[in-house]
Amino acid sequence: MQLGTSIFLIAVGAILRFAVHVSTTGFSVHTAGVILMIVGAIGLVMSLLLTSVWAGRRDVAADRVVVRDREVL
């Protein structure tokens, strides 16, 4: 899940939880909103962690320079 998708899920969940006032039987819109916010938050944390891990690897690889010389006959 990318950052945009995570933020979208958090926003939709917050709308369902705090802005929608509906009473239904058998399905809770508020609970669905909380679930979407939790899934979005988990996705956001995982996305930030993976981004920081890959960013660190790119910096290390960019600093390495390999030069090979060979003799010409």
The per-residue pLDDT of the chain, averaged, comes to 84
Residue 70's pLDDT band, with cuts at 50, 70 and 90, is confident
Residue 39, amino acid:
V
* Joined tokens for residue 56: 């660190």
d(Cα 71, Cα 41) in Å, to the nearest integer?
Answer: 57
Could you tell me the residue ranges of all domains in the chain?
3-60
Work out the burial of residue 70: count CB atoms within 10 Å of its CB; fewer than 13 is exposed, 13-18 middle, 19 or more buried.
exposed
Share of the chain above pLDDT 70, in %: 79
Contact call for residues 46 and 9 (beta carbons, < 8 A): no
pLDDT tens track for 39-60 = 999 999 999 998 888 776 654 5
pTM of the predicted model, to two decimals? 0.70
Segment 16-40 shows an average pLDDT of: 93
Instruction: Give the residue from 56, 58, 41, 57 showing the smallest Cα distance to 3.
Output: 41
